[in-house]
Amino acid sequence: MIKNIKDIYVGETGTGKSYQAFQKALKNKGITIIFDGVSKNILLSSKASMKNMIYKFELVDIKDLCDLKISKRKKYIIYNSLSSVEHNYYIDYVIEFLNKKHKMLNKKNTMLVFDDGVFEDINVFSGFENKSSSSAVAFKEMRLLSGLSLVLSKTAIIITILMDSYEYVKFISNSIDKIYSFGNTYNVKRFYKKELN
């Protein structure tokens, strides 16, 4: 069992954020779910170095999420099959699922990973509007964050945040090690190109 962690992995593309998050998910002994905001094809092609890990998870279409029968002996990746027009509704499915299953998931041996664009902007953690998307998307992200705090306080949570080089240089200059958001304390780990496995 992995201790009840609350972590945010921050970095540019190709720095190993997802790789480390997937490794921790594989080590977890309880219910383990990775919410991945990309399509199944992108998941299997752009993360080629992680294929050996990915194939140890059951791949689940976001549209089938609320009907998912969770088994403690399986690990899941929830990929995004929504069209480009519907893409931003991914979070709505996640929120509905967590509302439905929160009693089962609020345990110390449960781990949830939010990877690749589920959360798009680090500023959302401080309650600020998401600069890279619409205010409606930012509101959904903040609603999801508040839900994680209110109903999943015992659950281990890892969130990856992708930043471009300008955002990243600006962020690391602030030397932020912890972010306090909706009652949760998230430890921040910065990823650099040299950390890629």
| Three-class SS state of 145 | helix
Confirm whether pTM is higher than 0.75: yes
Query: 152 and 73 in contact (C-beta within 8 Å)?
Result: no
pLDDT at 48: 63
Query: 157 and 33 in contact (C-beta within 8 Å)?
Result: no
* DSSP letters for 6-68: EEEEEE-TTSSHHHHHHHHHHH--S-EEEEE-S-HHHHHHHTGGGHHHHTTSEEEEGGGGGG-
**Left if phi > 0, otherwise alpha if psi is -120 to 50, otherwise beta: which for 99?**
alpha
pLDDT at 195: 44
pLDDT at 47: 64
Pairing of strands 178-181, 184-191: antiparallel
**Per-10-residue mean pLDDT for the chain, 197 residues long?**
77 88 94 94 78 90 95 93 88 94 93 90 68 69 86 93 76 78 86 63
pLDDT at 134: 61
Distance CA 184, CA 181 (A): 5
Written as one letter, the residue type at 76 is Y
